[in-house]
Structure 1
């Protein structure tokens, strides 16, 4: 993601997360911290259809955001973005990757579990609309960056 992508990403942010959308300036501020941040966009047909961001301060990496437009869900975009965030976490020598996910978003939770994330905590009423956040963790020393296959531990 570059600064030229911010307006389009912010438009998607407001569309996808109307209650909890980040202000535009937050994206600007995040990109300005390249020493601890990495942000990506996914494009299809010349349009941004997904984006993701990571903060890494050793030994912890934290997925700040990940989103895919609904009409492109199920096409591997979220998996590709998450794979790259995990690779970046490894490059930055993180031991764990953390993230928050809405308790009412089973599709995202399933994606994270396929990558080996485990729920470690609940933040009650974390989101503005009162929904809990599930805190999930991936230990990098015991996993790779590919999703688990069905039936495999």
Structure 2
């Protein structure tokens, strides 16, 4: 999957956020610490530093959301993270993203903190991010 396709999926998957450009995605993926899990209509991007994995994003095309693809990508992210030596996974998610919160909670992630006003919406609203973690080993 090219960075251009990833950027297009990201833009429609997160219409209330700032879209990532193809150049930003390409620059991210140039790092040896960062990896992508790719599906036909979605992807996940993560990184592992020492023993900690961070899920940077999961994006699934809107017409395919709710089909379990997010769970597949999350499981593949965790598997790759363990292969790279991670013992923990962390992520942040907007508190108004009920579907993502439900996915992460069902998958064993627990809220461990928050970042008030972390996400900005097009209307200027500031949304708190929940920080979540999960033991991988």
Write the mapping of 1:107-122 to structure 2, written as runs, cut at 5 A: 107-122=99-114
Structure 1 residue aligned with 2:33: 36
Look up the SS of the partner of 1:112 in the other structure: helix
2:7·2:22 contact (CA, 8 Å) conserved in 1? Answer: yes
Write the mapping of 1:23-62 to structure 2, written as runs, cut at 5 A: 23-33=21-31, 35-43=32-40, 49-62=41-54
Structure 1 residue aligned with 2:14: 17
RMSD over aligned CA atoms reads: 1.2
**Structure 1 stretches lacking a partner, 5+ long:** 44-48, 142-153
2:10·2:60 contact (CA, 8 Å) conserved in 1? Answer: no
From 127, 132, 151, the equivalent of 2:128 is 132
Look up the SS of the partner of 2:127 in the other structure: coil
Structure 2 residue aligned with 1:103: 95
Tell me how far apart the structure 2 counterparts of residues 27 and 139 of structure 1 sit (CA, whole Å).
Answer: 27
Which has the greater radius of gyration? 1
TM-score normalised according to structure 2 size:
0.90
After the TM superposition, which parts of structure 1 deviate over 6 Å for at least 4 consecutive aligned residues? none
Tell me how far apart the structure 2 counterparts of residues 54 and 132 of structure 1 sit (CA, whole Å).
Answer: 21
2:37·2:44 contact (CA, 8 Å) conserved in 1? Answer: yes
Q: How many residues align?
A: 132
Structure 2 residue aligned with 1:63: 55
Tell me how far apart the structure 2 counterparts of residues 123 and 76 of structure 1 sit (CA, whole Å).
Answer: 28
